[in-house]
Structure 1
Amino acid sequence: MCGIFGVIGKTNANELLEISQILKHRGPDDEGFCSIPNVKHFCGPDTVRSLLFPKISGDLDGAFGYRRLSIIDLSVKSHQPMEKDGYVVVFNGEIYNFASIREELEGLGHQFNSSGDTEVLLTSYIQWGERCVDHFNGMWAFSIWDPKRRIVFSSRDRFGIKPFLYFHDDRYFAFASEQKALLKFSKVSNNPDLEDAKRYLIWGMQNFSENCMFKEIKRLLPSHNLVFNVDTGELKTYEYWNIHPNTEKSVYDEKQGQMYFQKFREIFTDAVRLRLISDVKVGTALSGGIDSSSIVYTVRELMKKQSVPSIGDIQYTFSAVYGNYVADESKWIDIVAKETAVKSLKVVPDHEDLASRLEALAYVHDEPFDSTSTYAQYRVMNLVRESGVTVTLDGQGGDEIAGGYPLYMPMMILENFPNKTFFSEIKNLKKANSSFGLFLRTIGTRYVNDVAQRRYFKEISKGLFNHTNQFIPYGGRSKAEFSHMNLRAWSDMREELVDLLKTADRNSMAFSIESRFPYLDYRLVEFAMSVPSAYKIHQGWTKYLSRRSFEGLINDKVLWRKDKLGFPTPQKAWFEMGFSDFAMNYISNSKFLKYLDVNVNGVFSHKLLWRLVNLAAWARVFEMD
């Protein structure tokens, strides 16, 4: 929806204007500034002309800033920073249930000037204080100036869909939607965290950590609030929401299953309905899998019942395809598109284009990312921008809540042992794209996880670094959680999914697109995590909860397809076709990799070589080379 930023401490107008321009891609429609703690509004060169605020200039004791992507209430009444009764907010995201919250607040005596969700959010804080977030169904990152308590209250949504980066020392507190914007604050340096860089090469992205690749920048974690006291300089963060997944042993029962399937589809349908609320056009990112297809079909069903203004006469879908490569899912995309009568738009990413965009991608994402799938998503979002659509619906989260990953099957079998289905499910491992070898490794890793992590580290780091023998641990829980499928899935949501959501945010906002995620409606997640694992994987079928929930909605060929690809690219083939030579030449000239003691002339797998070239590009773009 937008880009937000702010600083509490001495700053100046030129610095703030530069930060605003850095974030313009997140909000090209409007610009605003407000001094803090002495509240006064200012305009910049991109502020809507009808707003007659004085131009921002000179030195300030602090300020909030904002870039707007207009989605709901396109009028100037929803201009930010927004002030009400002396409180000031900058807000990035959407509160999908804002209409019902507004009705509740009106019943408590509050009045409203605008028709959007920003004023509802601010009024909710005025009414309920820090517990306002308990009322929100949506995605958000926001900061509020509270003049009575003389604090800045900030919050990030339950799943980390929207970013919140910050800097804090004894005198200053600064925040922004992206690291590159924070780097423009004069007090923030671009010093890299070298251990984090090495950890990335071994383990991949780690957006579940407070620490960033930039040493002085931290991220507010999902489901966390932040309170900064202006007078004392004290900063604290705390978790406001969590889930305790169902870990009970269970045997599948069809009657009970029917209740789960009906409830899952009911909540999901409402989650899609809420995410169609928009004053601009909405489309869907379609990969051809169950999760994205379920959104397209559900939108079609909603359109049959009533007009959906944000969709219009025809639903748009956006896909990446690859011709004859295994990664291509055109077959499934075309089945869905034909049956739902959508306007299906496709893009064909390729390795030569990837090479030409390498440094542009590094700039967009602020930190290195794990695979070329991120590049493919970037191309899809470019396609969305060219189509005139401003909001997309996306299927992220469906695998985690419904049991979609092959690893989940051996975990489900182990956690329910012994029961009457044990041997039959063992036989079904291959059917679920799993294997008996993975089952045995799961048993071993469950009991000797630390040994397994160290062995993996040794295998990956051998030949990567010239001299280091230092063990760098993974740092999270996900790769150590083998006790229960639901617990592993929840850990994956807190770690692996956060990485995917980060790349989705940067890719979409790079083209001024807002991405929404129906599977991450907190009501659906809470319900799905209460469902025993025996209903998520059954008779060798992963994602059984989703498959049965969408019977009669999704084409059976798509619903019961056995291959799981997960938005891949033909990355290995691309490296063999020439990208490997480009990458090796690129990393051989990287001073940063040499400083990390990387053996830049080593022999690397395509996955590790991608991380190396991606890290080298990041270091060059942010002037560390």
Structure 2
Amino acid sequence: MCGITGWVDFERDLRSQSDTVRAMAAALAHRGPDAESVWTDRHAALGHRRLAVIDREGGEQPMAAEESGQVPAVLTYNGEVCNFSSLRAELTARGHRFRTRGDTEVVLRSYLEWGEHCVDHLDGMFAFAVWDPRRRRLLLARDRLGVKPLCYAPLGRGVVFGSEVKALLAHPLVDAVVDAGGLAELLSYVATPGHGVYRGIHEVPPGTVVIVAEDSITSRAYWSLRPTEHTDDWDATVETVRELLADSVAAHLVSDVPLCTLLSGGVDSSAIVALAARATDHRPRTFAVDFEGHGERFRKDVWHEGADAPFAELVAGHVGADHERIVLSTADLADPLVDAAALRAQDLPRPIPDMDRSLFLLLRAVRSTSTVALAGEIADELFGGYKSFHDPTLTGTGNFPWVSLNLAIGPHGMGNGLLDQALLREVDVAGYTADRYADMLGEMPVLPGETVADRSARLASYAHLTRWLPLLLARDDRLSMATGLELRVPFCDHRLVEYAFSIPPAMRTSGGIEKAVLRAAVSDLLPDEVLRRPKSPFPVTQDAGYGHVLRHRLEAVATDRDSPVRPLLDEQACDRLLKEARPVAVRGWGERRDVEMLLQLDSWLRAYRVRLDV
């Protein structure tokens, strides 16, 4: 996995601007610790940071094609194309000659063969930029689900782009400004396709190509999530899901460096581990996160039915994995350096930063022995793993299901309880969220003959896949790459996504069982205890000592008259909480989330010197 960046300007001569692009690439050093390079010509400068996973000796980037002494295209690329071997054979048959054995040159020659439509031929996770000197245009492209990130900002007569916002902010002409719309996007917990939060910065939406020409910037969606009529019966559906998932897992195992799997003991990650064990002839390596004393302290809440550790160990023993449990202490979670690293990785404050820190520490530990890890992300979104798929009080609210669920928890469910309510009304987070929901309804494809109940359930799936999943994938990518680890997500195979999305909701949750199809598809691979286990999200510590840490940090921010978060702070709400002279409650979401979000905002505003224009 890698970091890409660049600058195109149709007026300026960029041959003297390599230092600027090197600075942008340096901001992505964590994504590519193995190599750095910059390519420049008159109107384009491309940068690359490399984490070598396949073809470690070849595959240097940016990679320039050469034909008769000319350079028809230059590529800077991040990702893994799973079907690169078959594409290479097809391109060879069409007359292309390869100098390397990895997927980078396959992507480059796919562009030479099919132009911007090369993306239709690529399976996997990717984000790349191609500068075409003959056409004087830049192509930006992103994979169908948005596993790999890519953002850009128009600048003069051109653009700057990068894998992460920090690369753009390293350019001297790009400022960190967040206006009312950006703040509403940040606080809504909804990922609007293309929205970059920072003013003037945009994401390339998943499944989209952006073309930058001298007089225009245009975008085209080459893929979208659309249901088709599902005619398979139960047995055929289960068999197809098994085949598609097994194929995807096998494709994601290709690596020239050590590889492992993250294992929580839930059905999703356990399925990946079991299928990976069948696809290889060596003992799988697995990792799980846990907390000191978690087994003794654990209490069931609205999200977590039970601790992960016993289930993860059960699965590891069942498949013969070499399993390691990474045990975190409160001191680990409270380490200011870890907090800063997790925030810096994402460029934005996020609603569940304690989870981010736990995941960061897990991934950092994994990186000590592995360069690639597989994860079980998005199975819940595909197969109906969330409560919101089954509860009509959440799917029929006219709001995003997870927002409705958070609001149902109580007044602090959204994590905004310590923020100034007048400011929130002025920014109109609720209205912003309602508008984004209406936008989604307008694009949601209709399946003829679908019942109201089925459409409601499919809408919940569509919302999660297009407005919630991007937040999860962004978190996974940023935190893994911050440690120099490549994270692969087999459930994001677009063939599997297309098929699963079209499965009737009643079949997905047959018998009232969440993810019934997926459980049936791997029923011969996993212990019954795991197959029967309810959905449980990423674990969080329940140590009261962590609540003391949060309280002390809240006191420090609340009494700091120079804190940049003060304009956002509801001082009375903060005072009421502090006067109770107790640690912040760490069980459940409400109070903990309020405090965590405020602290994250303060750290972000300081670290990025963000100017709020609201």
Give the structure-2-normalised TM-score: 0.84
1:344 lines up with 2:323 in the alignment: yes
Distance 1:602 1:72, change over 3 A: farther
Q: 1:235 aligns to what?
A: 217
Q: Distance in 2 between matches of 1:177 and 1:467?
A: 35
1:18 lines up with 2:23 in the alignment: yes
Q: How far 1:570 sits from its partner (Å)?
A: 2.7
1:192-207 aligned at under 5 Å gives the runs 192-201=178-187, 203-204=188-189, 206-207=190-191
Q: Among 210, 214, 221, which residue is 1:226 paired with?
A: 210
Query: More deviation in 119-128 or 577-586?
Result: 577-586
Q: Distance in 1 between matches of 2:373 and 2:400?
A: 43
Q: Distance in 2 between matches of 1:236 and 1:510?
A: 31
Q: 1:80 aligns to what?
A: 61
Q: Distance in 1 between matches of 2:328 and 2:121?
A: 41
Contact kept in structure 1, 2:394 and 2:404, CA below 8 Å: no
Contact kept in structure 2, 1:198 and 1:596, CA below 8 Å: no
Q: How far 1:171 sits from its partner (Å)?
A: 2.1
Counterpart of 1:5, as a letter, is: T
Q: 1:126 aligns to what?
A: 112
1:549 lines up with 2:518 in the alignment: no
Counterpart of 1:487, as a letter, is: L
1:199-348 aligned at under 5 Å gives the runs 199-201=185-187, 203-204=188-189, 206-229=190-213, 231-232=214-215, 234-246=216-228, 256-303=233-280, 307=281, 313-322=282-291, 323-324=294-295, 325-326=298-299, 328-348=307-327
Q: How far 1:70 sits from its partner (Å)?
A: 0.5
Q: 2:446 aligns to what?
A: none
Distance 1:79 1:609, change over 3 A: same
Q: Distance in 2 between matches of 1:291 and 1:546?
A: 8
> Secondary structure of 1:265's match?
helix
Q: 1:378 aligns to what?
A: 360
Counterpart of 1:288, as a letter, is: G
Q: Distance in 2 between matches of 1:401 and 1:621?
A: 36
Q: How far 1:574 sits from its partner (Å)?
A: 5.8
Distance 1:478 1:525, change over 3 A: farther
Q: Distance in 2 between matches of 1:498 and 1:525?
A: 14
> Secondary structure of 2:55's match?
coil
Q: 2:40 aligns to what?
A: 35
**RMSD after superposition:** 2.8
> Secondary structure of 2:288's match?
strand
Distance 1:452 1:18, change over 3 A: closer
Distance 1:239 1:409, change over 3 A: same
Offset from partner CA, 1:363-395 (integer Å, 9 cap, x none): 1210111212222111111111112x1001000
Q: Distance in 1 between matches of 2:399 and 2:553?
A: 42
Contact kept in structure 2, 1:587 and 1:613, CA below 8 Å: no
Q: Among 138, 144, 151, which residue is 2:130 paired with?
A: 144
Query: More deviation in 454-463 or 255-264?
Result: 454-463
Q: Distance in 2 between matches of 1:369 and 1:128?
A: 39
Q: How far 1:459 sits from its partner (Å)?
A: 4.7
1:6 lines up with 2:6 in the alignment: yes
Contact kept in structure 2, 1:587 and 1:593, CA below 8 Å: no
Contact kept in structure 1, 2:22 and 2:38, CA below 8 Å: no
Contact kept in structure 1, 2:330 and 2:543, CA below 8 Å: no
Q: How far 1:578 sits from its partner (Å)?
A: 3.5
Distance 1:339 1:8, change over 3 A: same
Contact kept in structure 1, 2:151 and 2:161, CA below 8 Å: yes
Structure 1 gap segments, 5+ residues each? 39-60, 308-312, 411-438
Q: 2:420 aligns to what?
A: 465
Query: More deviation in 483-492 or 584-593?
Result: 584-593
Contact kept in structure 2, 1:161 and 1:502, CA below 8 Å: yes
> Secondary structure of 1:73's match?
coil
Q: How far 1:166 sits from its partner (Å)?
A: 0.9
Contact kept in structure 2, 1:587 and 1:616, CA below 8 Å: no
Q: Among 387, 390, 396, which residue is 2:371 paired with?
A: 390
Q: How far 1:117 sits from its partner (Å)?
A: 0.5
1:418-457 aligned at under 5 Å gives the runs 439-440=392-393, 442-443=395-396, 445-446=397-398
Q: Distance in 1 between matches of 2:248 and 2:406?
A: 42
Offset from partner CA, 1:131-153 (integer Å, 9 cap, x none): 11111111111000112321101
Q: How far 1:353 sits from its partner (Å)?
A: 2.4
Contact kept in structure 2, 1:592 and 1:624, CA below 8 Å: no
Structure 2 gap segments, 5+ residues each? 442-452, 578-589
Q: 2:447 aligns to what?
A: none
Contact kept in structure 1, 2:419 and 2:568, CA below 8 Å: no
Counterpart of 1:32, as a letter, is: S
> Secondary structure of 2:523's match?
coil
Distance 1:448 1:345, change over 3 A: closer
> Secondary structure of 2:153's match?
strand
Q: Distance in 1 between matches of 2:147 and 2:394?
A: 33
1:581 lines up with 2:556 in the alignment: no
Q: Distance in 1 between matches of 2:421 and 2:90?
A: 63
Q: Distance in 2 between matches of 1:457 and 1:479?
A: 26
Contact kept in structure 2, 1:464 and 1:602, CA below 8 Å: no
Give the structure-1-normalised TM-score: 0.83
Offset from partner CA, 1:496-546 (integer Å, 9 cap, x none): 110000010111101111111110101101111121111111222110010
Counterpart of 1:214, as a letter, is: Y
Q: 1:159 aligns to what?
A: 145
Counterpart of 1:576, as a letter, is: G
Q: 1:353 aligns to what?
A: 332
Distance 1:198 1:226, change over 3 A: closer
Q: 2:581 aligns to what?
A: none
Counterpart of 2:32, as a letter, is: G
Q: How far 1:32 sits from its partner (Å)?
A: 1.2
> Secondary structure of 1:235's match?
strand
Q: How far 1:458 sits from its partner (Å)?
A: 11
Q: 1:46 aligns to what?
A: none
Contact kept in structure 1, 2:308 and 2:539, CA below 8 Å: no
Counterpart of 1:379, as a letter, is: L
Distance 1:6 1:399, change over 3 A: same
Q: 2:538 aligns to what?
A: 567
Counterpart of 1:608, as a letter, is: D
> Secondary structure of 1:121's match?
helix
Identity value in percent? 30
Q: Distance in 2 between matches of 1:454 and 1:161?
A: 25
Distance 1:20 1:349, change over 3 A: same
